[in-house]
Amino acid sequence: MRQMTYHLLRWCGSLLLALGLSHAQDSRPNSIEAMNVAQQGTALNLKLTFREPLPALPPAFSIARPARIAFDFANTTNGLGRSSQTFNEGDLKSANIVQAEDRTRLVLNLQKAMTYEATLDGNNLLLVLQPSKTQESGAPVAEHFAKANPAFQRVNSVRDIGFRRGKDGEARITVDLTDSNAGIDIRQQGSTLIVDFTKVTVPEALRKRLDVADFATPVQTVTTVQRGDNARMTIVPRGLWEHNAYQSDTQFVVEVKPIIENPNKLIQGTRGGYQGEKLSLNFQNVDVRRLLQVIGEFTGMNMVISDSVSGSITLILRDVPWDQALDIIMQQKGLDMRKNGNVILVAPRDELATKEKLEFESKLQISELEPLQSETFQLNFVKAEDFIKLFEKEKQSLLSKRGSAISENRSNTLFVKDTPSRLDELRAVIAKIDIPSRQVMIEARIVEAGDSFAKNLGVRLGWNQRQGYPFGGQGSSGNAIFGARVNTPAFYTTQVRDIPNFNTDALNVNLPATPRTGQAGLFSLVLYNSALTQFLNTEISALEADGRGKVISSPRVMTANNVEALIEQGVEIPYQQATSSGATSIAFKKANLSLKVNPQITFDGRIAMKVEVNKDTPNTRLTTGAGVAIDNKHVKTEVVVDNGGTVVIGGIFTQEVRTNTQRIPFFGDLPYIGWLFKSREWIDDKQELLVFITPRIVSEGLAIR
C-alpha cells in the first residue's frame, strides 16, 4: 500500500512539473530568429523567421520621404543579437530592429518608395517588396500603407478628420480610424491627391467638403465621400507641392508641403543641399560626354549635350548624390546647365550666356514690334483710379512703354491698350486684387464700477440766558454770557422767527457734519428752565452713505480687413481762448466715447488689431475758472486675438481711504463729553475701470446680432 501511494505521488508531481514547464513555455514571448533577403527580378523577397507562428499579420505603416516601411510585433523580442543589418539589395538599403519591453519594431530603409505584400507561412513572415509603378507623368500611382486583414470581420470606420497648418506652412490632414489594419492607398492623380480607405465607412457627419483655403497652405479643399464599401478622400492643392504620408497605429497623416520652384535645381523639394540618389564613380581620363551619359542613364533623365563639350576628366567618388556629382563635373570643366522639365541641357557657360542674351534680345524686339490690343476690365471691389496710380509709377508700371490705360469712374471700368503678353499679366493681377475684403466686427466693452462708503458725524452746541438775571450782563439791553442776546420776553422755542435763532446766533460750538454728497440728518434738543430764562440748545448731524454703481459702455463697429474704422459719441464743450489779436474766441473741446480700430486677419484665422479707445466725460463737480473739466480715460495698444475671443486691453483700479477729524482743542479731548466739541468724517471709495475687446470675422451670408 505504501509503495502504491509513493508511485502515485511521484506520478502527480511529474505531471504538475510538466504542466508548469508547459505553462512557462507558453508564457514566453515570441522572438525574431532570422532575416533573409533575396532579389528576384525587380522584386525583393524578405523572409522573417520566428520561434513560433504569428497569430496574425502585424500592423504596419509607411513613410514616403524618407522611404521607409515599419512593422510592429507585439509580445516579440529581438533574437538576432543585433539592432541593424545592411543589405544593399536593390532598393533595400538596411533594416533596423528596435525593442521596447515586449514590443519590437522592424524598420526597412529603402532607396525609394515601394509597395509590399505580406503573407504568413508557418513560422515565417514573407514580404514581397515591389517598386512603385509610375504614370506617364512620373507621379506615383499608389503608396500601399497597410494591407487589409481578411480575418478582420467587424466594420472599420473613420472616427474623426482634422486639418491644421504646420509651422512651415504645410497642410496636415489627420484621419483617425477605429482599427490600424485598414487598407490605405494614396496616389497623385493629375493635380489632386487621392486617398482610398479599403473596407472603411465614413459617418454621415464627416461626408463633406472642407474649404481650407484661408489657412494659407497649398491645400484648397478636402473632400471625403463614401464609394461603396470604401472611403475616398480627395485633396486639391495649388501651386508646386510635395506630399508626405505616414500611419501610426490608428492615425493616418498626410502632409502637403509647398515648394518654391527653382528652374535650375535638379531636384525640386523643400530640403536643402543635394537630395539625389547616391552613386559611386571611378574613372581615369574618361571623356566628359561619356561621363554625362552615365549620369543620365543612372537618373533616367533626358540629357542634351552641346557639341562644344569636350575633354576628359579623372573622377573618384564614393556614395555621392548624383546631383552633387554632376555639379562637380560642371565646375571642373566650366560647364553650365539649364533644366526644363525632365530635360537637361549641358553646354559651356559662355555659350549658354550668349544664347540666352540672344533670346532676350529677340523677345525685346518682338515686344517692340508686337501689335497692340485693347481690353476692358470691369472692376467690382477696387476703384479703377487706384489702378491708374500703379500705371503712372515709372519703376513699378504694369504696362509696357507703348501701353496706355484710362479709367471711367462712374462705371468703375478700366480700359487698357497694350501687347497681348502684358494684358495676360494684367489680367492675372486683377484676378488676385479685385476680390471682396473680409469683414470684421469689433466690439469694445468699457466697464466702470464704483463702491463708495462715507460716514459723517458733527455737533452744534449753544447756551444763552435772558437779560436781568444772575447770569446776565449790565445795562438795559444786557448780554448773554454764553451765546447771543435775548431781548424778546415772549420767546418760545417753536418761534424760529424770534431772537435768539439757535441756528445762527446762539452757538458755542459749531462743528456740524459736512458730507460731500447728500444732506446730513439732524437731531436737535433744547433744555430750558421753567422761567424761560436759560436755554441749552444741542444739534447732532450725521450721515452714512453706501453706494455701488456700474457703467457699461459698448461701442462696436464693422469694417473691412486692413481698413481703419472710427465710431464716437459725445458732446463738445465750449471754452474761451485768446487769439493773436488779443481778443477771445470760442473753441470746442470733445468729450466723447470713441473706438478707433484697424484689424488685420492673419493666415491662421486670428485677428491682429491696432486699438484706440477713448472715454471722456464732463466733470461738473470740479469747478475751474476756465470752464468745465473733463475726465479722460484713454487706452491705445496692439493685440492679437482669436476669432470670437475676448481680451482685456486695459484696466485701472483706485481706492481712497481717508479719515478727517475737526475739534476744539482741549475740549475735544475730554472723555465722554469730548464728542460734543468735534466733527468726524470717514471715507472709503473704490473705482475700477476695465476695457474689453471682442473681434469677430463676419462670414459671407451671416450677420452679427
pLDDT for the residue numbered 190? 75
Is a pLDDT exceeding 70 seen at residue 172? yes
Report the pLDDT value the prediction gives residue 541, as an integer from 0 to 100.
Answer: 82
Burial of 569 (0-12, 13-18, 19+ CB in 10 A): exposed
Question: What is the C-alpha R_g of the chain?
Answer: 47
Which residues have C-beta within 8 Å of that of residue 69, sequence separation ≥ 6?
60, 61, 62, 63, 107, 108, 110, 114, 116, 129
Which range has the worst mean pLDDT, 267-281, 486-500, 532-546?
486-500
pLDDT given for residue 494 in this prediction:
37
- DSSP-derived secondary structure letter, 206: G
Indicate whether 269 pLDDT > 70. no
Higher per-residue confidence, 346 vs 147: 346
Statement: residue 702 has pLDDT above 60: no
Burial of 523 (0-12, 13-18, 19+ CB in 10 A): exposed
Report how far apart the first and last C-alpha atoms of the chain are (Å, whole number).
100
Q: Dump the DSSP string for 524-542.
A: EEEEE-TTS-EEEEEEEEE
> What pLDDT score does 9 carry?
47
Give the least confident one: 191-195, 344-348, 388-392, 663-667.
388-392
Q: For the residues 18-30, what does the mean pLDDT come to? A: 54
Mean pLDDT, residues 21-25: 43
Which range in 129-143, 288-302, 497-511 is most confidently predicted, on average pLDDT?
A: 288-302
H-type alpha helices, 140-287:
none
Distance (Å, whole) CA 698 – CA 675: 67
What is the pLDDT averaged over residues 95-102?
A: 79
pLDDT of residue 226: 92
109 or 274, greater pLDDT = 109
Q: How confident is the model at residue 263 (pLDDT cuts 50, 70, 90)?
A: low
pLDDT cut 70: percent of the chain above it: 79
CB-CB contact of 62 with 145 (8 Å): yes
CA 538, CA 502: separation in Å to the nearest integer? 9
For residues 574 and 584, give the distance between their C-alpha atoms in angstroms, rounded to a whole number.
Answer: 12
**Dist CA 143 CA 243 (whole Å):** 12
Name the 3-class secondary structure at 652: strand
With a cut of 80, say whether residue 299 has pLDDT above it: no
Q: Is the pLDDT of residue 471 over 50?
A: no
Q: 668: which DSSP letter?
A: G
At residue 353 the predicted structure's pLDDT band, cuts being 50, 70 and 90, is confident
Q: Is the pLDDT of residue 682 over 70?
A: yes
pLDDT > 70? residue 203: yes
pLDDT in tens, 535-582: 777 777 888 888 888 888 888 899 988 889 999 888 888 877 777 777
Average pLDDT over residues 273-302: 79
Mean of pLDDT values over 124-152: 57
Per-residue pLDDT at 12 exceeds 60: no
* pLDDT band, residue 66 (cuts 50/70/90): low
Q: What is the mean pLDDT of the chain?
A: 77
Asked if pLDDT for residue 370 goes beyond 80, the answer is no
Asked if residue 368 has pLDDT above 80, the reply is: no
Tell me which amino acid residue 373 is: Q
The answer to whether residue 280 scores a pLDDT higher than 90 is: no
pLDDT number for residue 21: 42
